[in-house]
Amino acid sequence: MERIEHRASSGGWQDVYRHESKVLGCTMNFAAYLPPQAKDGKLPVVYWLSGLTCTEQNFITKAGAQRYAAEHGIIVVAPDTSPRGDDVADAEGYDIGKGAGFYVNATQAPWSRNYRMFDYVVDELPALVESELPASDRRSIFGHSMGGHGALVIALRNPGRYRSVSAFSPIVAPSHVPWGQKAFGAYLGDDREAWKAWDTVELLGTAKEKLPLLVDQGDADEFLGRELKPELLQAAAEKAGHPLTLRMQPGYDHSYYFIASFVGDHLAHHARALLR
């Protein structure tokens, strides 16, 4: 693991690391904010998953999360959104291929060779973080849009692994919206039954752990009715008796202005669970 960026921020350090991923078969970057408390011992970690077209850079440069992480004494880790490199499969458009891994394990060629972001985020990345950084095995997870989908699915599919979960503008029913249908058709094939294992709305009905969900959604989001459909999440949570706090935020869109406005609330939500 090689540190390629090292910048002072809110009393701690915003770093970026590069490593060879065995799971993805390529070189990957991830960002890690180490608050000032990290010099005194191991701290819990919140994993952030970004949305379509993003890298590890978007969150660390736009969200303003460092000061909240320093306040609570938690590490924030933000991986890239897909495998990268000249030998990694790609496609035209922003919503499939590089920058659009959708946090699934692809089963279809040519994607199955590298696109295993689920295994990377759940297993390989935390193992690396916990062995090489002052990080404990207390974990939480959150994300935005495609990353919100990833955070919710990963938490629901791994009961007991995360202390808390939240999302901004998540794609909650990818099996039923254009972004998800395009990606799932490519990565997972035509069997829509197989898609259900990667769909938050479908997973809520069989969830073995009732980890409370915190979701913020802007009511001026340009993707609200076509791609995000939070009403489907609300209906599924009510049917399953799954705790959900869905906050519709007036006037906010899909941008990082929205994320920066409420990221402090989300990190406080995770800190309460991680430091309990």
pLDDT in tens, the chain (276 residues): 999 999 999 999 999 999 999 999 999 999 999 999 999 999 999 999 999 999 999 999 999 999 999 999 999 999 999 999 999 999 999 999 999 999 999 999 999 999 999 999 999 999 999 999 999 999 999 999 999 999 999 999 999 999 999 999 999 999 999 999 999 999 999 999 999 999 999 999 999 999 999 999 999 999 999 999 999 999 999 999 999 999 999 999 999 999 999 999 999 999 999 998
Instruction: Give the side-chain half-sphere CA count within 13 A for 146.
Output: 27
Give residue 163's pLDDT.
98
Burial, 261: exposed, middle or buried (Cβ in 10 Å; 0-12, 13-18, 19+)?
middle
- Per annotation, catalytic residue among 15, 95, 199, 221: 221
Instruction: Indicate the helix (H) or strand (E) that contains 192.
Output: helix 192-195
Q: How far apart are the first and last CA of the chain?
A: 31
* 254 touches 222 (CB < 8 A): yes
Strand partners, 69: none
Please tell me which residue in 254, 266, 269, 270 is annotated as part of the active site.
254
Sign of CA dihedral 78, 39, 160, 204: negative
Rounded Cα distance between 139 and 158, Å, is: 12
Q: 145 catalytic, yes or no? A: yes
Are the beta carbons of 167 and 152 closer than 8 angstroms?
A: yes
Residue with tokens 């062995």: 131
Residue 241 to residue 8: CA distance in whole angstroms: 44
- Domain span including residue 38: 2-274
Q: Is 40 a catalytic residue?
A: no
Which of these, 76, 96, 59, 58, lies nearest to 185 by C-alpha position? Answer: 96
CA distance readout (Å), 261 to 131, 164, 274: 33, 20, 22
Cα dihedral angle (53, 55, 57, 63), rounded to 10 degrees? 60
How high is the pLDDT of residue 75? 98
Single out the residue of 213, 270, 220, 221 nearest to residue 246, CA to CA. 213
Residue 54 is predicted with a pLDDT of: 98
Q: Which amino acid is at 192?
A: R
Residue 276's pLDDT is 87
Do residues 36 and 11 make contact, with C-beta atoms less than 8 angstroms apart? yes
CA distance 115 to 157: 18
Asked if the bond preceding 174 is cis, omega within 30° of 0, the reply is no
pLDDT at 172: 98
CATH number at residue 19: 3.40.50.1820
Number of domains in the chain: 1
Q: Indicate the pairing of strand 165-168 with strand 135-144.
A: parallel
Q: Does the annotation mark 112 as catalytic?
A: no
Query: How do strand 213-218 and strand 244-249 relate by DSSP bridges?
Result: parallel
- Say whether pTM exceeds 0.75: yes
Catalytic residue, chosen from 50, 82, 140, 145, is: 145
Enter the DSSP assignment of 122: I
